[in-house]
Chain A
Amino acid sequence: MAVKVNSKISYIFKKREFGIFLFILILLAIFGSIEPRFFRSDNLSAILSSVGILMVVGAGQTLVIVTRNIDLSVGSTLGMAAMVMGLVARSRPDFPIMGLILIAMVVGGICGLINGFLVSFGKIPSIIATLGTLAIFRGAVFLVSDNVQIDPEDVPKDIISLATTSPIGIPWLLIFALLAIVLVWFVSSQTLLGKRIYAVGSNPEGAISRGLSFNRITIMVFVFIGVLAGLGGVLYTARYATINPADVGRGLEFDVISAVVIGGTNIFGGSGTALGTALGCMLIGILSNGLTVVGVSPFWKACATGFLILLAVAIDNLVRRRQEENFLLAIRNQRVAK
């Protein structure tokens, strides 16, 4: 009986990811037929670049949400990392590119560490803690930059080329994005640490009574998303070549959380996949680009994205409820059979 139920579940999960995939295809068909320019290679690469940045940060957000937390500060963290990196690059033009990337990731990691401490030891609900740091980190971006933006001529050519050059046919930016997704897939499905992260989100009390270190896991996922947001800062700089203190990463949290939720990660913790998040990011990226390209006003665009999130969560709830009813029924039948 249990095996049967199991196959049913994986069927539903597969169906969900397949569903997003189908939806992406439909969107592509609609946008392409309204506006043929949608499929031009420069537009497609624009889509991929924005999807790539979303994926890098979304990969981290998936694990954060799996632990029943949320990180609203990702946009500001990304901005902080990009700005510090940009300042170093401007003052020392010959600084090695690997060093710059490392600096961005370390700055992001420190931001994540602060969030992690506030949430774990500070016992501040993550939605409040990261709402606070969202403002603090943004303020810090203005402070360190004196509200002066980093101009394209001050950004090293090597950084910009991450968005355009390619070792194996796809740009570095996308390689980083895929690596982040693969890393989350690997950690979540292949390692004990990953199982502990899911366990904490699935049943926090159970996790404590099994002796799992709650605080350590919380801090770990926040540092992880911080480091990825730092990497996102590098990719942002590569794509836009300008780091404006007011614009860099602003509003990113909305797109990232939308993508993760649309991708099927349970906002109440315990479940969610890297593949789902990757698809969710693609969906958000394509929708946002497509609506602009076909000439929908930015105001309607915002409405459409919001509507999509609500739809995804509503479908999710329906599926979950159906699942639970099926479990109860299966268990009951099992008992009757005995």
Chain B
Amino acid sequence: MISVNQKWVSPNRLKGNLINVLECKSISKWYGETAVLNNVNFDLAQNEIHAIVGENGAGKSTLVKIISGLVPVDVGSIKFEGHDRTFAHIREIQNSGVALIHQEPRLFPDLSVLENVCVDHQIREKNKRFNWKKAEEETKELLAELGCSFSVHSPVKALSVADQQMVDIVSALRKKLKLLIVDEPTASLTPSEVQRLFATIRKLNASGVAIVFIGHRLEEVLEISTRITVLKDGEVVAVKKSSETTEDELIRLMVGRNIAASTTNSKSASSRVSLKVSELESPGFVSGVSFEVKQGEILGIGGLVGAGRSELLETIFGLRKRTAGEVISTTHGSIKSVKQAISAKVALVPEDRAHNGLFLNRSINENLVITNLNLSSKGGKRNFGKEKVVGQELIEKFRVKLSSASQLVRELSGGNQQKVSLAKWLKQEVEILLIDEPSRGVDVGSKSEIHQILNDAAAAGMSVVMVSSDMRELIELSHRIIVMRNGRIAGELSGSEISEEAVLRLASGLTTAGRGN
């Protein structure tokens, strides 16, 4: 079996000289003022499956995007097989045998499997036509070897995600593959699909392809990898041999040691339930989710990226089609559409402010009053004087830093944009606030102000459902935390049960702590 693979491996890889295939030295990367990676060293030996673990936003994906040339590095150097590749063009990096496979396969849905595999084939001999027959045979051979049974002629959009990943891998294999990077490949796979993928990865590794594996499920990471690098807030906190570490140790490393430092929200909520969600179902994202939120309560929703948290909020709000289940506001009745949600005084502040929450090219004032036009207009005609007053009130209340209320929203910092986004909803008497990643991409100062706003709103009787990947935020703000995994509720934590470790355990499916479902 392995021998078939060897023709895809360059000859010098088989001699067994154990130099590092990849050496990254002091890699740093900033997005705006935020350092995503800070002085990261990463190396990869031959015949190694090197895993990278870390919480959401620890910089894992950025690191591999830099390695594969998709994102330029700010500081540092990258050596591949001894050659400097720090500023190499993506095509150069790919042609030297590096392939990156994302969670969402980078494929062409309209093309067939065969066409997807061959599309970037380089014809080296001049005047030689591409030999489709030969390519088809080779592709079939590779697919069969990986245990795939689908036809090479089926369009890629007709395949499952797992099969699409296989196509992605085969595309990489057709070139002389030396380094394969898989970025959270198992998030949407079934257990048997995961096993097939792992078998493939091991087979490739045995035939001389170095592997970088990014994973959230620590059990899987320990199973597949030989070495593990732990990232936290863009820095390497540890490099461990997989055989010498445990899931518990990894979680401790990912979370950091100052677990005790975070305090949970001890203020009590009232006992009146304001929102009831029962057996909510949205195919592919949310299944069988039930929970209640009390008045004045902040309910945190934790979980990994792709667990269905944002989709849950969208389904509750009526943005996403639901196939079963009910959402009931105890004061306004059943909610089935966005219109009903808004009239039931439910508001959604989405994660992607730039696209969903704000009109970037309009003024601050217009953004603020757009959802409050009934306060400042009469008979469909806007009252600009009144708009100004309403806007000014909000700006002061939310401490938005600006030069003038007619400034465009796109000119504001991330934190202030988020405040505008919040303010425009909170002016109306919102009873239930659904908020997705309240402080993503926000500076520390604005972050604590946003937290204060949310706490005040809850204290004033608002119910808040908050999705957050920021563990600290989740733990400090929430009265109660629901952890999602694969579209389901993996468990619920409240009071003293709440800890970063407990959330992480539930999110990665480790144990069912607390009250499971």
Contacts and interface: CB of A to CB of B under 8 A. Distances in A.
A and B associate in one complex: yes
Contacts of A335: 160, 190
Nearest to A334: B160
A40 B115 CA distance: 46
Given A5-B158, A210-B106, A334-B160, A192 B118 contact: yes
A202 interface: yes
A191 B108 contact: no
A273 to B, nearest CB: 11
B154 interface: yes
B75 interface: no
Nearest to A3: B151
A317 to B, nearest CB: 16
A37 interface: no
Given A6-B153, A203-B106, A335-B190, A195 B115 contact: yes
A50 to B, nearest CB: 31
B159 interface: yes
A2 interface: yes
Contacts of B121: 192
Interface in A310-338: 327-328, 330-332, 334-335, 338
Contacts of A270: 108-110
Interface stretch (B87-95, B232-240, B311-319): B87-95
B403 interface: no
A210 B160 contact: no
Contact of B119 (A6, A199, A208, A331): A199
Nearest to A330: B158
Interface in A222-253: none
B163 interface: yes
A5 B154 contact: yes
Interface in B161-176: 161, 163, 171
B262 to A, nearest CB: 38
Contact of A3 (B90, B115, B120, B154): B154
Contacts of A2: 150-151, 154, 158-159, 163
A144 to B, nearest CB: 39
Contacts of A331: 158-161
B111 interface: yes
A267 B157 CA distance: 18
A270 B157 CA distance: 12
Contacts of A176: none
A331 B161 CA distance: 9
Contacts of A330: 158
A272 to B, nearest CB: 9
A209 B111 contact: no
A20 to B, nearest CB: 20
A209 B130 contact: no
A195 B114 CA distance: 10
Contacts of B95: 211
A159 B70 CA distance: 52
A201 B111 CA distance: 10
A335 B132 CA distance: 31
A172 B92 CA distance: 47
B320 to A, nearest CB: 14
Secondary structure of the B contact surface, majority rule: loop
A192 B283 contact: no
Nearest to B156: A202
B154 A210 contact: no
A187 interface: no
A83 B30 CA distance: 55
B192 interface: yes
B108 A198 contact: yes
A274 to B, nearest CB: 15
A247 B94 CA distance: 51
A20 B284 CA distance: 36
Contact of A208 (B90, B115, B154): B90
Nearest to B92: A211
A191 B130 contact: yes
A199 B108 CA distance: 6
A208 B151 CA distance: 26
A293 interface: no
B157 A195 contact: no
Nearest to A209: B106
A331 B157 CA distance: 10
Contacts of B110: 198, 201-202, 266, 270-271
Contacts of B108: 198-199, 202-203, 206-207, 270
A35 interface: no
Nearest to A272: B110
Contacts of B190: 335, 338
Given A192-B130, A332-B283, A338-B190, A212 B106 contact: no
B158 A6 contact: yes
A9 interface: yes
7 contacts: A9-B158, A198-B115, A207-B108, A210-B171, A270-B109, A328-B284, A331-B161
Interface of A: 2-3, 5-6, 9, 190-192, 195-196, 198-199, 201-203, 205-213, 266, 270-271, 327-328, 330-332, 334-335, 338
Given A335-B160, A335-B190, 18 more contacts: A2-B158, A2-B163, A5-B154, A196-B119, A199-B115, A203-B106, A203-B109, A205-B106, A209-B100, A210-B94, A212-B119, A212-B120, A270-B110, A327-B157, A328-B284, A331-B160, A331-B161, A338-B193
Closest 7 CB pairs of A and B: A211-B91, A270-B110, A202-B108, A2-B150, A6-B154, A5-B158, A202-B110
